[in-house]
Chains A and B, each alone.
Chain A
Amino acid sequence: MTNTRAKILLPVLENASLILFVGVFSVFAMKSAKFLTIENLINILIQSSSVGIVAIGMTFVLLTAGIDLSVGAIMFLSAAIAGKLILGGCSVGLAFVAIVAIGFLYGALNACFITRLRILPFIVTLATLFAGRGLSLLITQTRAMNLPELVQIGSARIVGIPFPVLVFAAVLIAAHVTLTRTAFGRHVYAVGNDAEAAKKAGINLGRVLFSVYVISGLCAAVGGLVLLSQLGAVSPTFGDKREFAAIAAAVLGGTSLFGGKGKVFPGTVLGAVLIQMVENGLNTVSADPYIYPLVISPIIFLAVFTDSVRHTQLQKLKRRKIRVEVFE
């Protein structure tokens, strides 16, 4: 009987991302002793925090069945301007404030085009991705800016916790609480589940959508800030292709592109860490570094594949019954 089989299959599919994570982890743990050391695990966290933060913002957008391709550009732009300011002799603190402001404005710009003028998020953010990277390159003249003083912050440890991880955790907690413990958060899910019904129920659709793009912009900026503090330099490749990494992380964490389904914790975090773990793991087993994309992309594919299978199985289970069979 197909239903019963599906019932057994579903739990497995539900937790596909977790299973993947554990699987990859144990593989590397077995392959190399160095992988399991505390320092290395902390390293993984540090390296994944930047993408993780951006991915958290991306999750908000994906939950509303939207998409934000401009996050990489936002990272670059905010970092570039921060760099200019610091080189121009402005205080680091002020520069960081500027970064956040830029993230906010950028997000608001996207949101305006999407909610006010009703253009597809894909196109809007594609265009602002173009413009944003161009603008940043214009500002930097594609020059590398070395800001060694920032590394102090990036490598600092507050009560033993590395700065990037600290920021990561802070953003994560804030996002998780917002999504699970506030009306806005629940409305985000509602909109993603059925925009029309949400409107009928009297949820302010425009405001919810606007906010998620602003949030995504903010997270991107903060992610850029963290990366900047780690690199201590801004190069023209800064934040390049990060939009894809962020989307991948969210999707790996079980977030659906069709909206309404996904969690920042554990989901997106697992995804982000998983991505970094693969890179780090391959490194510790000193595998050919070029092989990295060949490993990560099948994992992404697998995650989505299981999700779509799960979806079809659910459809099977949920087919409307119109008669009660006495024998069931």
Chain B
Amino acid sequence: MSEVILEFEGVGKSFFGVPVLRDVGLRLQQGHVLGLVGENGAGKSTLMNILGGVIPADSGVIRLEGEAHAPRTPAEASRKGIAFIHQELNLFTNLSIAENLFITTFPKRRVGGIPFLDRRTIREKAKALLAAVDLSVSPDTLVEDLSPGERQLVEIAKALGADARIIIFDEPTTSLTSREAERLFGIIERLRAQSISMIYISHILGDVRRLCDDIVVLRDGRVVGTGAREEFSLEKTISLMVGRSIDQIYPLRATAPGEEPVLEARSVSQRGIVHDVSFVLHRGEVLGISGLMGSGRTELARIIFGLDPIESGEILLNGSPLGRSGPRGRVRRGMAFLTENRREEGLLMDASIADNIGLVSLPAFASSLAKRIDHVRLCNAAEEVAHSVRLQSMGITRQAAKTLSGGNQQKVVLAKWILAKPSAFILDEPTRGVDVGAKQEVYRIIADLAAGGAGILFISSEIEELIGMCDRILVMSGGEIRECIERGDFDRERILRAALRENASA
């Protein structure tokens, strides 16, 4: 029985007064792989960010080999032997692999007092590290020439180079093909053999159960289950992940979906992205799209909205084909797109709330000739919508969007689209980074929109909310639609299984 290397005790953290971690305790044993599972927003990333020194904990203690561990910066954490392999990799694409491996710890060779890089040593060390993760490319290769999978391996090699004793993997396989994933698992096995401890975060329970010695399940910032792998059947794990009585959170869907189609996709394909995707979205229908990260759900949305090219197939809005028209054409024709990235694609952060809400519908408030904007009318309208989405702000003309909480920011984006009165909404992760209270209101808004006759494409990685809100759910993986499930026979496990199914053609 190996000894405990890392231990959490009563760790708590909250943002804007909303607790995201409550009294979390867990233990990682030397040379073990600990699986950390839970839905989005369960608090996995927050927990790891605390460990990695990205953010401090509010309460509780972390013990690293017995002594207290509270890193102030990521650098400090890595000095203590903790390596964090993020979802989005922190490599410098314009530098070579070798340079990335030693970016802050370059071996030097003084010539006349000047510390030159000891390039031979660097290359040799790099070769050794790459061999350790059996990546058979020259250490001089630029990172930008590597595939996502290879970059992942470089990150791992970097961790080994900093002789990390604990490596955290956060959703490592999302951007990997099955072959690359297999390779990664092989490496993890080997590291375990070298008695390096690891924490493995993933949605893909199959992988977790296969790789990990112990499993911890988080829900709403609490540990709801912990123990050895054997104790966790797939079923048990899933029910632990999503086991919350849901009826009070979700509004009653009073109206039934109509008959006439609003948005229609006919065998939409784009090489390497999505394959032969078809569906029909009706008036007043909430059509859910479930899938893990990298299942192609967001990519599909971008194609439908005309942001990314489409190779074959066609998309119809209210019966008329959209052809190659870009986002502008879609917007004019009455399509709305709430992206998963609010900060970069949703809001004008420095602009006032009113400006944000008005942005899409500006033409509607411009007089035909001089294109003069009727500010009074615009502001009143914006005021109205803001009120209808229960936006909390101190004056929509005075306050800048960036000063709002996540929930209110999301409401602004919704309001922006609602004001334009579109017939079809594409909502990509509308409740991401939003506290529970605001979530409920977002759900209410969605229900109202549907009741108002709009068709809604509801993309989410939280199965639970899809089940709560949707009339039908499409399950995607590997860029294809695997299943279409009617409201009657919704079933979490069935959905998860479909979502976890491997890409057939791989």
Contacts and interface: CB of A to CB of B under 8 A. Distances in A.
Q: Do chains A and B touch in the complex (CB under 8 A)?
A: yes
Interface of A: 177, 181-183, 186-187, 189-190, 192-194, 197-198, 200-203, 260-261, 314, 318-326
B117 A181 contact: yes
Contacts of A203: 103-104
B506 interface: yes
Nearest to A194: B92
Interface stretch (B212-220, B221-229, B268-276): B268-276
A323 B103 contact: no
Contacts, number: 93
B117 A323 contact: no
Nearest to A2: B309
Interface in B3-60: none
Contact of A183 (B90, B115, B175, B294): B115
Nearest to B272: A321
A325 B271 contact: yes
Contact of A324 (B73, B94, B148, B506): B506
A183 to B, nearest CB: 4
A221 to B, nearest CB: 21
B423 interface: no
A182 B115 contact: yes
B119 A181 contact: yes
B505 interface: yes
Given A183-B115, A261-B94, A202 B75 contact: yes
Contacts of A187: 103
Given A322-B299, A326-B505, A193 B272 contact: no
Nearest to B293: A322
B117 A322 contact: no
A322 B271 CA distance: 10
Interface string B228-257: 000000000000000000000000000000
Interface in B114-135: 114-117, 119
Contact of B94 (A177, A183, A193, A319): A193
B108 interface: yes
Q: Which 4 A-B pairs have the closest CB atoms?
A: A202-B75, A323-B479, A321-B272, A183-B106
B430 interface: no
Contacts of B202: none
Contacts of B503: 323-324
Nearest to A178: B114
Contact of A323 (B108, B148, B296): B296
B485 interface: no
Interface residues of B, number: 41
Interface string B83-119: 0000000111111000100011010100000111101
A320 B95 contact: no
B116 A181 contact: yes
B74 interface: yes
Nearest to A196: B90
B156 to A, nearest CB: 16
B152 interface: no
Contacts of A189: 92, 94-95
Contact of B90 (A201, A320, A323): A201
A324 B95 contact: no
B117 A186 contact: yes
A189 B506 CA distance: 37
Nearest to B295: A322
Contacts of B177: 321, 324
Nearest to B90: A197
B455 interface: no
Contacts of B91: 197
A157 to B, nearest CB: 27
Nearest to A198: B92
B478 interface: yes
A313 to B, nearest CB: 13
B116 A322 contact: no
A321 B478 CA distance: 10
Given A197-B90, A200-B74, A200-B90, A323 B95 contact: no
Contacts of A193: 92-95
B381 to A, nearest CB: 37
A202 B74 contact: yes
A190 B90 CA distance: 11
Q: Report which residue of A182, A314, A319, A322 has the largest number of chain B beta carbons within 10 angstroms of its beta carbon.
A: A322
A324 B104 CA distance: 36
Contacts of B478: 322-323
Contacts of B90: 194, 197, 200-201
A189 B96 CA distance: 11
A324 B505 contact: yes
B84 to A, nearest CB: 9
Interface string B150-194: 000000000000000000000000010111000000000000000
Given A181-B119, A187-B103, A190-B92, 18 more contacts: A177-B116, A183-B115, A190-B95, A193-B92, A194-B90, A197-B90, A200-B74, A202-B74, A319-B273, A322-B479, A323-B274, A323-B478, A323-B506, A324-B178, A324-B505, A324-B506, A325-B271, A326-B506
Contacts of A194: 90, 92
A323 B273 contact: yes
A94 B424 CA distance: 76
A182 B479 contact: no
A260 B103 contact: no
6 contacts: A189-B95, A198-B92, A203-B103, A318-B144, A322-B273, A323-B274
Contacts of A202: 73-75, 78, 104
Contacts of B299: 322
A320 B271 CA distance: 11
Interface string B58-86: 00000000000000011100100000000
Contacts of A324: 177-179, 272, 503, 505-506
